[in-house]
């Protein structure tokens, strides 16, 4: 639905400016299902949080990147331009720590902003990835 090949996905992408006035990084995001509109709304909502939260979202490790999930044949949500990674400095990823012991530094206030706009959080997965959010409104129970 977001595009069946890399060029197909690219046709559906637009630029979203991440956290205007705080970051300003241009991100390529899918327009299908209004993912771009929801991500802009996430920026507006995050900007309303207290200053102490800004360090988690000031930087982003990016959105669109046509690639398979490491060790699999499956395309990552980043391949469709429907996922974003926030500041890697405060992130934990299961593959970085072979002990598989769950760790997280991302505050729930930040997670809730994304969830309210239809993005699921990689910090809730067994193979945790706390910097990762992807647009999957069908998986969120309201």
Q: Does 115 bind Zn ion (CB under 5 A)?
A: no
Please pick, from the candidates 85, 110, 113, 128, the single residue that binds Zn ion as defined by CB under 5 A.
Answer: 85
Please pick, from the candidates 3, 19, 113, 132, the single residue that binds Zn ion as defined by CB under 5 A.
Answer: 132
Considering only the stretches 21-29, 37-45, 84-92, 95-103, report the one whose residues sit in contact with Zn ion under the rule CB under 5 A: 84-92
- Could you say which DSSP state residue 81 is in? T
Buried b / exposed e across 65-97, counting CB within 10 Å, b at 16+? ebeeeeeeeeebbbbbbbbbbbbeebbbbbeee
Q: Does 81 bind Zn ion (CB under 5 A)?
A: no
Phi and psi, residue 13, nearest 5°: -90, 150
* Binding residues for Zn ion (CB under 5 A): 85, 132
């Amino acid at each position: 639905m977001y595009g069946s090949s890399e060029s197909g996905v690219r046709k559906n992408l637009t630029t979203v400016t991440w956290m205007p006035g705080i970051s300003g990084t241009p991100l390529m995001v899918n327009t299908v299902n209004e993912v771009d509109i929801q991500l802009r709304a996430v920026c507006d909502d995050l900007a309303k949080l207290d200053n102490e939260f800004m360090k988690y979202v000031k930087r982003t490790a990016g959105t669109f990147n046509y690639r398979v999930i490491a060790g699999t044949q499956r395309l990552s949500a980043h391949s469709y331009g429907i996922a974003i990674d926030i500041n890697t400095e405060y992130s934990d990823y299961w593959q970085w720590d072979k002990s598989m012991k769950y760790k997280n530094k991302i505050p729930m206030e930040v997670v809730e902003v994304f969830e309210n706009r239809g993005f699921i959080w990689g910090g809730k997965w067994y193979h945790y990835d706390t910097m990762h959010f992807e647009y999957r409104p069908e998986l969120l129970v309201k």
